[in-house]
Structure 1
Amino acid sequence: MNAIKPHPHKTDLTVTHVLAELLERLECSTEPVGAEQYRSVVLHLVNELGDVEPGTALGALLDTHPAAAELYENVNYQYAGLCRSALDASLAAEREAKEALNRAMRRASNHSTNQPKEDPNHGKS
């Protein structure tokens, strides 16, 4: 019987770092970038990210390479959602939305209480 051996994760991030740097340069490039070149870098980086040992070293790399971090988040979305997105920004947006809804509800409430009551006999003889 052939036993399936677990795939060991890589701890050396040299290749991952080079690909992350390259992706950042492509993302920030003022020159047009070929679709095949971009796709190739992304696919290679996805493969590397799949083999890398999760941990502080990977976290530090992703913290300094936003394009790679976004890619990592998208690839792992099914497992962790938007795990690298800034929580503070999300919470602030949610708070602002709630405040806007509350203001709108107060205005609607004030608008309806400030309206003169309609005379039920108005226009009737």
Structure 2
Amino acid sequence: MSALPVVSLKTRLENVIALARLLERVERSSAPVGADQYRALVRQLELALAQDLPTDALNAVLGAHPAAAELYENMHYEHSGLSRSPLDRSVGSEMLASQVLARAGRKA
């Protein structure tokens, strides 16, 4: 009876991995992809990523698939900001934004 949750978890993880791989291929491809197809793929991956998954497994998938990691980060931005972005890039972006705001303030 307890085999069902394990199978369900395995299926969910396989689904997330397959969708993450597909999104990665679409993102890297030079072939045109229809907007509706792209949105449908992203929506399916969003639904898959929203399910309860073990943290280690989720981190492994996101570490191997940058496009899925970016999507996951965007899904959780309201609560955790750019939590998956490298710190150097996040700090650099913040510093650049501060400089732009300071220049805009001096011109005004």
- Confirm or deny a common fold (TM above 0.5): yes
Count of residue pairs the alignment pairs up = 89
Q: Is the contact between residue 82 and residue 90 of structure 2 (CA under 8 Å) also seen in structure 1? A: no
**2:19, 2:43 → 1: CA distance?**
10
Identity of aligned residues (%): 49
Considering Cα pairs closer than 8 Å and 6+ residues apart, tell me whether 1 or 2 has the greater RCO.
Answer: 2
Q: Who is 1:83 aligned against?
A: 83
> Are positions 1:71 and 2:71 aligned together?
yes
1:42-57 matched pairs, under 5 angstroms = 42-57=42-57
Q: 3-state SS of the aligned residue for 2:50?
A: helix
Task: State the TM-score, normalizing by the size of structure 1.
Answer: 0.63
* TM-score for both structures, normalised by structure 2: 0.72
**Which has the greater radius of gyration?**
1
Unpaired stretches in structure 2, ≥5 consecutive residues: 100-108
CA deviation digits over 1:67-124, x for unaligned, max 9?
0000000011112111100013334x27x76xx9xxxxxxxxxxxxxxxxxxxxxxxx
Unaligned runs of 5+ in 1: 1-7, 101-125
Contact 1:52 1:58 in 2 (8 A): no
Q: Is the 8 A contact 1:21 1:65 kept in 2?
A: yes
For 1:83 and 1:64, the matched residues in 2 are separated by 16
The structure where helix makes up a greater share of residues is 2
Query: Runs (4+) of structure 1 moved beyond 4 Å?
Result: none
- Cα RMSD (Å): 2.2
